[in-house]
Amino acid sequence: MKYRLIQKANPLEPDSKRKWYASPVKSGTINNYQLSKGIASKSSMTRGAVLNVIENMVDEIPRYLTEGYSVNLNNLGTLRLSLSSKGVSKPEDFKSENITNMRVVFTPSPEFKKTLQNIEFELSE
């Protein structure tokens, strides 16, 4: 993986001297078509069949998340929803309008983490 160096201040110590930190270099974006083509080359499924599975998965995951389920994708990891809300003094004072943010949390599986630990880093020119 290529990285570049960026200089920034420590947010916990804004008056301290700026330091250099590694930042990943983005090579681009892979879309569903490219992903399905790569998966199809490693399986007996056609690119169209793989693409169909990916698109159906993209439709199904949000449905399960909004129904309160976490979605375990085995060796990839688990997706779940997290909420932020304004606090109230008494439970009866809480309204759904108090919910200020919702986000998807991804927790990588141990296998996925282990795969990423073997990355070799290279400074980008």
Question: Mind listing the pLDDT tens digit for each residue in 9-50?
Answer: 887 887 888 888 899 999 999 999 999 999 999 999 999 999
Residue 90's pLDDT is: 93
| Domain residue spans of the chain | 70-87+97-117
DSSP assignment of 40-89 equals HTTSSS-HHHHHHHHHHHHHHHHHHHHTT--EE-TTSEEEEEEEEE---S
Confidence label for 61 from pLDDT (cuts 50, 70 and 90): very high
Tell me what pLDDT residue 5 has.
93
Best CA proximity match to 62, nearest among 80, 83, 49, 75 = 80
- Once rounded to an integer, what is the mean pLDDT over residues 57-79? 96
pLDDT of residue 18: 86
Residue-level pLDDT at 21: 86
